[in-house]
């Protein structure tokens, strides 16, 4: 079993999170704080969700992760990625596609990202 969570934006890998690395206690506590804050409700798209379930939280955090990647906010990206990897252990990929000013996000539980294979072509003389 591969223990990586892959984050893709428009088909390009942005982040790979290795679940085998243990988080320090203070980071685990921060994930608990994220859950507490989301228990107060979240805003997704044009609706408010007062008591989000695990999947709604995952989509909300995935959206925050992708915003963090696009704005080079490494701290938020790290926390969001750690949340998804630790709270949603069966999640294998977050796939996002830009659609104008918005993002389409798909959480993949069935597909692990394959390693890229480099192929060199020789040019004729």
Say whether pTM exceeds 0.85.
Answer: no
For residue 79, being part of any structural domain is answered with yes
Q: Which of 125, 122, 120, 113 is nearest to 4 (CA)?
A: 113
For residue 63, being part of any structural domain is answered with yes
Burial of 94 (0-12, 13-18, 19+ CB in 10 A): buried
Q: Which domain holds residue 30?
A: 4-108
pLDDT digits (tens, 9 = 90+) for 14-50: 999 999 989 999 999 999 999 999 999 999 888 899 9
Q: What's the number of domains the chain is made of?
A: 1
Instruction: Tell me if 89 sits within 8 A of 19, measured CB to CB.
Output: yes
Give the contacts of 57 (CB within 8 A, at least 6 positions apart): 35, 38, 42, 87
For residue 15, being part of any structural domain is answered with yes
Q: What is the pLDDT of residue 31?
A: 95
For residue 22, being part of any structural domain is answered with yes
For the CA atoms of the chain, what is the radius of gyration? 16
SS3 call for 123 = coil
Weakest mean pLDDT among 29-38, 82-91, 114-123: 114-123
């Amino acid at each position: 079993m591969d223990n990586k969570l892959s984050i893709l934006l428009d088909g390009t890998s942005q982040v790979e999170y290795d679940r085998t690395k243990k988080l320090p206690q203070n980071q685990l506590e921060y994930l608990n704080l994220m859950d507490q804050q989301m228990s107060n409700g979240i805003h997704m798209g044009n609706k408010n969700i007062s008591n989000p379930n695990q999947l709604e939280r995952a989509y909300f955090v995935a959206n925050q992760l992708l915003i963090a990647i696009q704005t080079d906010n490494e701290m938020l990206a790290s926390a969001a990625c750690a949340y998804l990897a630790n709270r949603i252990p069966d999640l294998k990929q977050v796939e996002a596609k830009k659609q104008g000013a918005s993002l389409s996000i798909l959480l993949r539980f069935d597909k692990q990202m394959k390693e890229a294979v480099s192929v060199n072509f020789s040019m004729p003389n």
